[in-house]
Structure 1
Amino acid sequence: MGRYKSMLMAEKDARAFPYHVDVPVPPMGLGAQSDLMEGWLRQTLGTEWRHHGSGGGRNHVARFMFRSRMEGELFEAAWKAGMFPATRQS
């Protein structure tokens, strides 16, 4: 039942936050990189964004969702500029 609820919430968020940025998830996950992204988003946008996993198999992505195109483009530009560097895993 928990998985079904999370799927419903993802669908609801996708409607409320129609601008999406998909970040590919490497085989070992995003790790601390995800924390950096979420910290930047909280500082920059407050709580007006959402984050869900999407896809499966080799095509897993972290989907970040925004209310406006400008917010999505701001996050995408920061991500592509390397503001959230991946940390090396031991």
Structure 2
Amino acid sequence: MSNTSSNQMWGGRFASGPDAIMEAINASIGFDQRLATQDIAGSRAHAAMLAAQSIISDSDFEAIEKGLITILSEIERGKFVFSSKLEDIHMNIEA
């Protein structure tokens, strides 16, 4: 698992994080929150394909599926906390 306190897509090679203005410019979460349902559907389909091809185990698929359904439920109930530091909808869901 990745470190959720600094879960930025771009990092590791740099001594410090991006300037706040870059985070503001790059963040699209305010616009693409409406894509959450579609992003989750795509991730579920991808996980199903990986399981069907025996790339991931059935138990891993079930865990991924359960997690994505939980996230979707939180989003639908308005309980999911989106972060602009994670740039886009996919990164928010993946984190």
Give the structure with the higher percent helix. 2
The reply to whether TM is greater than 0.5 is no
**TM tier relative to shorter chain:** under 0.3
Structure of greater Rg: 2
Higher strand share: 1
TM-score under structure 1 length normalisation: 0.27
